Amino acid sequence: MVYPIVVFGDPVLRKRGQSIPLNSDIAALVSDMFETMYAADGVGLAAPQIGKSIRLFVIDGSGLEVEGEDMTGFRKAFVNAEMLEEFDEFASIEEGCLSIPHIRDNVKRRSHLRIRYYDEQWQLHEESFTGMKARIIQHEYDHIEGVLFTERLKPLKKRLIQRKLDDIRLGKVNTDYKMKFFNFR
């Protein structure tokens, strides 16, 4: 099942996601999230982006060509993820977001991280990531913390995109995928 993607302006995107009770049945949801992500041509999707305020995100960066990095097999579900550490030098990399269509900008983040998470079979993992993999994880992890990448831009950049963000919030945006706008009344 393909969900519509919740678009900027919906308060669910600003909420910290709840932990998922251990061993609950999430197989169908995880599979739907992958399907939704592929339908929108994304490399990551977090549960708040389909309106669910829970600590779950999926990533498939295996099709990305990244210089100096082997992205093979980088397809994972992160359940109840907990960022343990972000470290090393800062890198500035361009990001975009399915919930904020047509806006892309450089975001500065640490280049290494260590994260603990369950997979969709409730196996616990603790792993380190770097480069593009770390970057995708950081972006999605932000989503389950209620943070959007636009909040990490410098104040001047934020002002420059404010008008575009307002348009998106009001539904004045087009994408190839189904979107869900927040209803203001």
Q: Which parts of this chain interact with Zn ion (CB under 5 A)? A: 97
> Whose Cβ is closer to Zn ion: residue 81's or residue 97's?
97
Active-site residue, selected from the candidate residues 35, 120, 126, 140: 140
- How far apart CA 106 and CA 138 sit, in angstroms, is 14
Residue 35: active-site member = no
3-state secondary structure of 59: strand
Nearest residue to Zn ion, using CB? 97
- Min dist CB 45 to Zn ion, Å, is 8
- Min dist CB 23 to Zn ion, Å, is 28
- Min dist CB 116 to Zn ion, Å, is 21
Alpha helices in 1-147 (DSSP H): 27-39, 131-144
- How far apart CA 125 and CA 127 sit, in angstroms, is 6
> Whose Cβ is closer to Zn ion: residue 16's or residue 70's?
16
The residue to which tokens 């500035």 are assigned: 92
The residue to which tokens 């389909």 are assigned: 50
CA angle 102, 48, 173 (to 5 degrees): 25
> Whose Cβ is closer to Zn ion: residue 77's or residue 97's?
97
DSSP one-letter code for 121: T
Q: Catalytic residue numbers?
A: 140
